[in-house]
């Protein structure tokens, strides 16, 4: 009798706790399921976090590098490029400041790496505007003229344009970028130059400006190397 009683008690415990273990086994898959209800969201994140971390690590390894991870063009590390303080002098009317700053931000982005001069940002306080302007023009490899209806009505912009033309006439250094201006309305001095159209596709136009600057730096850097090599041979 005593053995039967003890056996009954043991059977009851097995039945009771075996059922709880089965219930837990049924809950566990729910914790890791994507269709799990919101009531289990906290438990799900704590249970699945190791596999999630592993997945994130795999994703970061297999993902392609972003544009900013790409190395800068080698010409940006050349001695010729380093000979001047700025890569691009940006000339624009005050009414077009937003457009000029947007283009400058693109050129100066870490993935592009250019150095730009903006008068409102880079002209030192207390400096004579004409003196600082002339210095910036002379200390820049290329000159970007943001040609808009505001530009052609602004005597100060036209003065800057003539300063640029006097420094490098008929050269790749002058980059006219046109917005809302037909060629027939461009200043006469610029109609013989190729222009960048920022009307149809702004992003493509920005890229054209960037490539034009790089091409000039590359051409002049190679020319300087050839000249130095010739002098060494001589």
Identify the CATH number of the domain in which residue 145 sits.
3.40.50.10140
Q: Are 199 and 183 in contact (CB under 8 A)?
A: no
Question: How does DSSP classify residue 234?
Answer: -
Mean pLDDT of 27-42: 42
CA distances from 42 to 35, 54, 80 (A): 14, 19, 59
User: In percent, how much of the chain has pLDDT > 70?
Assistant: 69
Q: Is residue 215 part of a domain?
A: yes
Element spanning 91, H or E: strand 86-91
Q: Looking at residue 63, what is its pLDDT? A: 35
Are 213 and 137 members of one domain? yes
Higher pLDDT, 40 or 12: 12
Average the pLDDT over each of 2-6, 27-31, 150-154, 168-172 and give the range with the smallest value: 27-31
Q: Are 221 and 80 in contact (CB under 8 A)?
A: yes
Higher pLDDT, 66 or 144: 144
Mean pLDDT of 188-217: 93
Q: Are 190 and 182 in contact (CB under 8 A)?
A: no
130-150 pLDDT, tens per residue?
888 889 999 999 999 999 999
For 156, the domain range is 85-227
CA–CA separation, 107 and 184 (whole Å): 28
Q: Is residue 74 part of a domain?
A: no
Q: Is residue 41 part of a domain?
A: no
Q: Is residue 211 part of a domain?
A: yes
Average the pLDDT over each of 55-69, 75-89, 107-121, 139-153 and give the range with the smallest value: 55-69
Q: Looking at residue 52, what is its pLDDT? A: 38
Q: Is residue 28 part of a domain?
A: yes
pLDDT band at 15 (very low <50, low <70, confident <90, very high): low
CA–CA separation, 175 and 165 (whole Å): 11
Residue 32 above 70 pLDDT? no
Q: Looking at residue 167, what is its pLDDT? A: 85
Q: Looking at residue 106, what is its pLDDT? A: 97
pLDDT band at 4 (very low <50, low <70, confident <90, very high): low
The 3-state DSSP class for residue 78 equals coil
Q: Looking at residue 69, what is its pLDDT? A: 67
CA–CA separation, 46 and 119 (whole Å): 55
pLDDT band at 31 (very low <50, low <70, confident <90, very high): very low
Are 17 and 132 members of one domain? no
Higher pLDDT, 4 or 206: 206
Are 94 and 165 members of one domain? yes
Are 24 and 94 members of one domain? no
| Number of domain units in the chain | 2
Q: Are 154 and 100 in contact (CB under 8 A)?
A: no
Are 7 and 110 members of one domain? no
Instruction: State the chain's mean pLDDT as an integer.
Output: 78
CA angle 112–113–115, rounded 5-degree value: 125
Question: Nearest to residue 193, comparing CAs of 214, 212, 219, 174?
Answer: 174
Q: Looking at residue 70, what is its pLDDT? A: 81
Q: Is residue 185 part of a domain?
A: yes
Burial 84-112 (b: 16+ CB within 10 A, else e): eebbbbbbbbeebeebbbebbebbeeeeb
CA distances from 20 to 13, 15, 24, 25, 81 (A): 11, 9, 6, 9, 75
Q: Pairing mode, if any, of strands 196-197 and 174-178?
A: parallel
Only one residue has tokens 């020319």, namely: 223
């Amino acid at each position: 009798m005593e053995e039967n009683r003890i056996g009954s008690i043991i059977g009851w415990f097995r039945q009771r706790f075996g059922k709880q273990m089965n219930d837990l086994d049924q809950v566990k898959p729910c914790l890791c399921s994507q269709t799990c209800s919101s009531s289990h969201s906290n438990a799900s994140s704590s249970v699945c976090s190791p596999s999630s971390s592993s997945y994130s690590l795999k994703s970061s390894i297999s993902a392609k590098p972003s544009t900013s991870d790409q190395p800068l063009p080698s010409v940006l590390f050349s001695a010729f490029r380093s000979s001047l303080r700025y890569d691009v002098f940006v000339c624009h009317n005050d009414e077009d400041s937003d457009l000029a700053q947007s283009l400058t931000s693109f050129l100066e982005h870490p993935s592009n790496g250019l150095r730009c001069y903006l008068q409102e940002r880079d002209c030192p306080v207390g400096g004579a505007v004409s003196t600082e302007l002339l210095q910036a023009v002379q200390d820049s490899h290329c000159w970007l003229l943001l040609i808009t209806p505001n530009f052609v009505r602004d005597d100060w912009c036209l003065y800057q344009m003539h300063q640029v033309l006097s420094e490098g006439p008929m050269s790749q250094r002058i980059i006219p970028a046109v917005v809302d201006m037909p060629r027939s309305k461009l200043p006469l001095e610029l109609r013989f130059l190729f222009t960048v159209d920022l009307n149809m596709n702004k992003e493509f136009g920005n890229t054209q400006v960037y490539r034009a600057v790089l091409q000039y730096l590359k051409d002049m850097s190679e020319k300087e190397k050839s000249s130095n090599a010739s002098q060494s041979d001589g």
